[in-house]
Structure formats: C-alpha cells, structure tokens
Structure 1
Amino acid sequence: MSAASTATLLAGRRILVTGAARGLGLAFVDAIAAAGAKVAMADILQEELAASVAALKQRGLQVEGFALDLADAASVKACAAAATKWLGGLDGLVNNAAITNSGGKSSEQLEVDMWDRVMDVNVRGTWLMTNACLPSLRASGRGAVVNLSSDTPLWGAPNLLAYVASKSAVIGMTRSLARELGADNITVNAVAPGLTLVEATQYVPQARHQHYLDGRAIRRDQLPEDVCGAVVFALSDMARFFTGQVMAVNGGFVMH
C-alpha cells in the first residue's frame, strides 16, 4: 500500500514501539505515524533516539521518545507508564526491541551469560512490556499487540542459537497470549522478517546474505519498508479478527 492509501488507516491510534531509535523500529514508527497515529518511541539508545524523534517531529509527525532497558523490569514499567500517560491511553504495542549477540557462534561456543542476556531482553522483556501495557490495551477496546519474531526459527538458522531460540519463544508467546487476551478484544500477532538491511544485521557474513538472495522467490535485498505493511495492518481495524498468527515477511524465503 502507498503512503497516500494508508494516511488515515491508524488515525487516532495511540501506539508504543520499542527499539524505535533506528532500523526496523524507526521504519515502523515512520509508517505508523504517517498512517495517522500518535507514537511513543522507546529505546535504550538515548542519543540515537533523540535524533530520530527530532527528525520525525520536523516532518510534523506526532512522536515522543522514552528511555527503555528491556533487561530491567523497573525500566519496563516506568517506560510503559510514561508512554501511556503521554499518549493519553494505548491502542497498540509493537514489541520490536531485541538483541542478537549470538551470531556466528555454534551452540558449543555460546556462553551462559550471553544466552541469559538474549533471553532476558528478547523473551522476558517482551513479556514484561506486554504485561505492563495490558490495562491500557484492555481499556482501549481495540488493543493490538505486534511481536517482532524472525524467520530464523522457521527454517532453523545455524550459528545463531540463542537468538533463534528467543524468537521461537516469541512465536509461542504470541499464540498463547492471543488465546488469553481474545476475550478482552486484544489481538496478538507476530511478524517474522527475513534478513533485512539495517544496522543490526551489519555483522551478518556475506555468505548468509547470499543464501537469502538465492532462496527468495523475490530476488532482491529485503529493506525495512518491506516489513512495515504487515505491522500497520496488524495494528489497524483491518485485522480485528486476525490473531495468533505469524506473518513471515521475507520475499518467499520461507513460505509459512
């Protein structure tokens, strides 16, 4: 969908996006705000967040930045409370923030501290942020949670085990929460991007990039804007009877 066709799709919505300072998170904020929503941007990268917020505000978009460390339960609660207060309520949560850390290492090379760090941020942090936002999402009457997973657990990407396991857990959480929260009229869905050209994937060896290029039905690099449509859709009224689903957005590398 073009920007013009989505300009009012999220009009009046109040959305919190984590990991919003750069990369996919920033692209999501841009698309969500351009679709008419007021967006709270949360990240641990404070300098980058401030710069991104300022750039979006210059374009007339309704955004504000909030500090967040997903590994710190107190920070999660404080961020959710401050963001919800600024927004005046909450209609949607995009759990995008995550770390990789385990790239390029085999299972035997992973350290326990690294494994725990990835799980604390990607799994526990996603759970804690969702819980912190639930009262406001229930009050909305049209709450939507979008969890960012990855296509890596869908095909079993090697030498990335902690990250792959964490993103597989996010898929499981998505399905379980969809059943728990359906009675509250809250939808919960996951978006599973393929290898996308952003800052967080700069570490990925060229051989892995080529593996994706060779395996995609659509033979080109995946860009952040390729993922935005699925996120905007899942937050919108178009998806009110769509829940517990995993949308693999990867150009047909994995056909899920």
Structure 2
Amino acid sequence: MLHGKTILVTGAARGLGYAIAQACAAAGARLVLADRLIEAGQEEVGTLRETGADARFVPVDLADPESIEAMARDIAAHEGRLDGLVNNAAIATNVGGVAFDAIEIDLFDRVMRVNIRGTWLMTRAIAPILVDGGAIVNLASDTALWGAPHLLAYVASKGAVIAMTRSLARELGERRIAVTAVAPGIVRTEATEYVPEARHRLYEEQRAVPGPQLPEDVAGVVVFLLTPSALSLTGQLLTANAGFVFA
C-alpha cells in the first residue's frame, strides 16, 4: 500500500507511534522516526532495520520551534521530500486525574504548547517538502468527543487538533494533500499505564466491540489514510475506538 513512499512519524520511539511506524514499514514505506527520546528512538530504528525496513531516526522536541525546523532541514537534506506526515507526538502521560480548577497553569500551557502549537509547527515545517498528492494524519482522541472529565487540558488540545485538521484540509486541498484525523480510545501501551484501571474498564466494557484496544488496531487505520484512496476523506475524523463513541 505504501511502496515507494517516505513517511515521517512523530512520537515514534514507543507506544502507538512505534506501532504506526511498524505498520507503515510492513506496508512497504521508508520511515523517518522522530521523537525527543533519542536512545529509545534509535533502538526502535534498529529493530525495524532487522526486519528489513528502511528507517532512520531524527530527534525533535515539539516544544521547541528551532528543533522542529532543524528536523525539517535534516529531512530535506537526506530524503529530499516526504509523501506523508503522521502527527502523533503529544503530551498525554500525567496530564489528567484532577478537576479543571486544580490544573496547574504551567501544565496547561505545556500541553497546549506541545499538542496544539507543536502539531501546527510540525505541519508548517514539513508542508514545503510534502509532495503534492501526499497525506497528513493527525492523532486526536475520542476524549474530545465525549468530554472525558478530569482531563481538561488534554481534551481541549485534542479538540483543537480536530479543528486544525479541517482548516488544513481546505488550505492544502489545492495540492491534493489529504489531511485527516484519527481519534482512538485508550490504547493499552506504556503511555497509558498511569490511567486508572476503572477508566480502562469503562472503555473496554462499553465499546461496541468489547475489550482492550491495542496499538495495531489504530495503526492500520493510519496506514490507509496515508494512501491516495484517502483523498476523498480529507478533513474527516475517523473514530478508531471500536465503537465507544460514534462521530
């Protein structure tokens, strides 16, 4: 499905981001993995290469505009162009569990700086080297659809990602670049180990298809959205959550 295409996945050093990178590699793509976790990212690239994948790692910190621009320059110099961008990196761990009026301002600002501004800056930096007919997939969250309590900063940031997706779809449509968003539910990874077990059970018991959601359940949806077939879906949100909420 992705043979001959070069795909950049952010937040790819672990969890859902790495699962997306694996799925893209299995679909024949050349991978650029980006993350601020340098050692972990390099290890994952090594693992991918052992399977025969063409992959390399580039460090990036979404909170730092200069880091994002440096990453884009590096990709322009090495790959020359990209066929797809997966905006997966975000702050999720330890941003919930408190009421809206107990959130620390510094934490709120940090979530917005990475999840919203970082997604915008990443897209702005990569758009010039994204081929016409390419694709951008933004990772949102179904928490923005059902209004998960005690998670206000994260919910607000992912709601903004959904809104940005629609605006970007119109701006990049002239280049036939598809911009879509995927809203998973809670995915069982190390990044969600902090989530109370009661919240995990809520999802797993009330999904239309009961049970845990694994990273590979979402990764396949992302792979499809990176193909030319997804152009007709530009601007749309796909709730890949096994039916916990419907959009």
* TM-score of the two chains, using structure 2 as the length reference: 0.98
SS in 1 for 2:145: helix
Quick check: 2:204–2:210 contact (8 Å CA) kept in 1? yes
* Structure 2: distance between partners of 1:56 and 1:114: 34
Kindly provide the CA deviation profile for residues 97-143 of structure 1, in whole angstroms up to 9, marking residues without a partner as x.
Answer: 00024210111110110000000000000000000011111xx1211
Quick check: 1:38–1:87 contact (8 Å CA) kept in 2? no
SS in 1 for 2:74: helix
| CA shift for structure 1 position 178 | 0.4
2:125 matches 1:132: yes
2:33 matches 1:41: yes
Q: Work out the number of aligned pairs and report it.
A: 246
* Structure 2: distance between partners of 1:31 and 1:86: 22
What is the match of residue 70 of structure 1? 62
What is the match of residue 136 of structure 2? 145
For 1:15, which of 2, 7, 20 is the aligned residue?
A: 7
Where do 1:42-121 residues align within 5 Å?
42-100=34-92, 101-121=94-114
* TM-score of the two chains, using structure 1 as the length reference: 0.94
What is the percentage of aligned positions where both structures have the same residue? Answer: 56
| CA shift for structure 1 position 249 | 0.6
- Structure 2 counterpart of 1:54, which letter? G
Quick check: 2:32–2:57 contact (8 Å CA) kept in 1? yes
For 1:201, which of 180, 192, 202 is the aligned residue?
A: 192
What root-mean-square deviation, in Å, do the aligned CA atoms of Structure 1 and Structure 2 show? 0.9
For 1:231, which of 205, 213, 222 is the aligned residue?
A: 222
| CA shift for structure 1 position 247 | 0.5
Structure 1 stretches lacking a partner, 5+ long = 1-8
| CA shift for structure 1 position 245 | 0.5
Kindly provide the CA deviation profile for residues 186-212 of structure 1, in whole angstroms up to 9, marking residues without a partner as x.
Answer: 110000000100111000001101110
| CA shift for structure 1 position 83 | 2.4
Structure 2 stretches lacking a partner, 5+ long = none
* Structure 2: distance between partners of 1:241 and 1:127: 22
Quick check: 1:145–1:189 contact (8 Å CA) kept in 2? yes
SS in 2 for 1:143: strand
Quick check: 1:20–1:97 contact (8 Å CA) kept in 2? yes
* Structure 2: distance between partners of 1:239 and 1:84: 25
